[in-house]
Amino acid sequence: MEANAKMYGDIQEVLIRREEIANAVKMLGDMITRDYEGKAPVMVCILKGASVFYVDLLREIDLPVTMEFMIVSSYGKGVASTGNVRIRKDLDYDISGRDVILVEDIVDTGLTLSFLKKMFIERGAQSVKIATLLDKPARRKVDLKADYYCFTVPDAFVVGYGLDYAERYRNLPDIGILKSEIYEKRSELELKTAF
């Protein structure tokens, strides 16, 4: 998609361009390859936000990784965390004794990942690490640090490269700050699409 495509009209500012993302993802893949030498980690993609990052990251890792997908919601359609983590699709296989890497799009309040990390430890994983594309430390509600991250972002609502607002903008190739008027129009939009 061109950088002047229609979707960019809803973006206030492009924060991270696709070339920078690709470089950072490659560096992260190399780092994981070194850190997990001799191991076969289970890479868990937290759908849907992490999907774009996940498939790019996996192809930069030179290890016998396995793929797993989970669907978790903590948000609904809004822009503020509810703190309620709900598992809507669980893993296919048992992860006891395995080295698990949770792959997420963004760590914001940290509620989702601290919940998942605890759950994976309880399920008997040998190790659980977190790899996130973005880290938004300003809004953290729990003491959680990502083991791997590509970029730190300011306290703003960002979309693109998998991240959405109400299921849109995931296919934007760059990461940008969404214009606030887009989510301020939300209640009006929801009323129109409710039926």
CB neighbour list of residue 4: distance below 8 Å, 6 or more residues apart: none
Question: Candidates 5-13, 48-56, 135-143, 154-162 — which segment interacts with Mg ion by CB under 5 A?
Answer: 48-56
Residues in region 10-69 near ligand IMP by CB under 6 A? 49
Measured from the CB atom, the residue of 99 and 135 that comes closer to ligand IMP is 135
Measured from the CB atom, the residue of 41 and 110 that comes closer to ligand IMP is 110
49 binds Mg ion (CB under 5 A): yes
Measured from the CB atom, the residue of 36 and 54 that comes closer to ligand IMP is 54
Rounded Cα gap, residues 89 and 140, in angstroms: 25
- Please give the structure tokens belonging to residue 178: 């969404």
Residues in region 118-137 near ligand IMP by CB under 6 A? 136
Provide the β-strand partners of residue 87.
72
How, if at all, do strands 11-16 and 175-178 pair?
A: antiparallel
CA distances from 145 to 43, 149, 191 (A): 18, 10, 38
29 binds Mg ion (CB under 5 A): no
Instruction: Select which of 99, 105, 108, 174 is catalytic.
Output: 108
108 is catalytic: yes
Give the catalytic positions in this structure. Answer: 108
